[in-house]
Chain A
């Protein structure tokens, strides 16, 4: 082959690879959107499952996912932001800082099922929370923590040093400079990272399997110590554990679509926030 021909063939191969990745996404989403649309109705979103989960809706799963994500946020958001403030504003290159950074990177790589085991050992048993919203939410919180720290630190990094120096030059203390000058301009970026992290938590299944999620609960949780239904687990049940799998397939598709819509609209909000504030910053 001439070098011209080889060049053409090579770059075509690269283009095909990229198109193939695009195709994978289109097939996955296309199948779920097309087959899930038919199942979604107002009733599906607002009623409890009935008749051995062969009919009815997914309201308890939606509510459960909302509450468990809320607990995740309560634990992981302040902790994550404070940790990021330390790393970006205070930390100098010491062994301690390196240890903290190494831990964050490794925590991000811990398998989700291992977080589940840890949640059982720590929250369910040692802390005595039992299998509950609280135990599951905290387990998810730990899993989300590295995402929130990393995103918040990125946001803090984008704040120009002149903001800090200007404030310090006027006699402000370090904390005052952070509070009045650094944080306000980093908040949009932090918010974006937080939403992305929570979207991931909302779609997780393995960490909540043994820490609080329930197969079927036709009522809504009334305290943080209740068990709960959740969208991802409900999809797992409807897809693999139900006694009449073929019959409930449309319900499984509907659940998958609702879960995807939930996760992607959170992502979308994050992206819109990001571009909105970026444009504002340019002006």
Chain B
């Protein structure tokens, strides 16, 4: 009897854990199911490579997502240009230089930064960063790709810093001592020995930060201006994939081509972030095995 009960408990807990697998599969399946009807009206090629996104066109609607894919990539790359150097330098500072007291200050700072809701970061982009950008570049308003890039960079900083710091801390002390014993300075040791040894962990951190940036919605929705045309420059207005879904899903009637296309955009987004996260996962896994 007891045996049976024990088995029941185990199965019960397994069932709860397995629900996560079902949720992930469910997301994938429902996205596909709700995207498929769109492709009876438009071809996959038109959808992925079409240069015009004009779903509510008066004469003819056009569902090309190339401009919004490029916008997403632009803002993500911009974010990484900002957050990768800053994040790695900060991580190196925390791991290699900071005194215990300094760590006690900077670590909560990063936790607090990670805790700011994205809608608040977007609001900051509108009321503070936007006007600054407008003034510096002499624009009529500062809601553009560069604004979104900086905000997304700020939002991916905590992920990059904390994971990169873990990677740097995990480098065995022998490496440092061997390098110092050979007469290398502390800085040379950091740049030539420690960082290269931590590189796979740092790469995984960057990928994960990138996944965050691609999928972030509210900040870009609020701060990039949302013009649905092909982006021209970092100083122009862009509209990302996430922002497109956020703006339009609330306005379209259910079961129209436009509705299905928005799910297809979600599917593309899901696949993109899935691949980026998987890559980060594989890198981390391999790096843990080496250790």
Contacts and interface: CB of A to CB of B under 8 A. Distances in A.
B249 A206 contact: no
B190 A209 contact: no
B269 A113 contact: yes
Given A11-B97, A86-B16, A25 B109 contact: yes
Given A111-B215, A239-B222, A11 B187 contact: yes
A105 B20 CA distance: 10
Interface in A148-182: 149, 173-175
A118 B119 contact: no
Nearest to A8: B187
A256 interface: yes
Interface in B1-55: 2, 5-6, 9-10, 12-14, 16-21, 23-24, 26-27, 30-31, 33-34
Given A10-B187, A83-B20, A149-B20, A31 B128 contact: yes
A28 B121 contact: yes
Interface stretch (B62-70, B169-177, B228-236, B271-279): B271-279
A185 to B, nearest CB: 18
Contacts of A252: 123
Interface string B237-274: 00000100110011000100000001100100110011
A103 B96 CA distance: 34
A117 B249 contact: yes
Contact of B26 (A4, A91, A122): A122
For the side of the interface on B, what is the size category? Answer: 35 or more
Interface string A99-128: 110111111011111111110111001100
A110 B222 contact: no
Contact of A107 (B9, B24, B33, B128): B24
| Shortest Cβ-Cβ A-B pairs, 10 listed | A111-B215, A203-B117, A17-B89, A82-B16, A86-B13, A109-B277, A14-B93, A83-B17, A206-B217, A7-B187
Interface of B: 2, 5-6, 9-10, 12-14, 16-21, 23-24, 26-27, 30-31, 33-34, 85-86, 89-90, 92-94, 96-98, 102, 105-106, 109-113, 115-124, 126-128, 154, 157, 161, 185-188, 190-191, 208, 211-212, 214-218, 221-222, 242, 245-246, 249-250, 254, 262-263, 266, 269-270, 273-274, 276-278, 281
Interface of A: 3-4, 6-7, 10-11, 13-15, 17-18, 20-22, 24-25, 27-29, 31-32, 78-79, 82-83, 85-87, 89-91, 96, 99-100, 102-107, 109-118, 120-122, 125-126, 142, 145-146, 149, 173-175, 199-200, 203-206, 209-210, 232-233, 235-236, 239-240, 249, 252-253, 256, 259-260, 263-264, 267
14 contacts: A3-B185, A10-B187, A22-B106, A82-B12, A87-B17, A104-B20, A109-B211, A110-B273, A114-B266, A117-B266, A142-B23, A173-B2, A175-B5, A264-B112
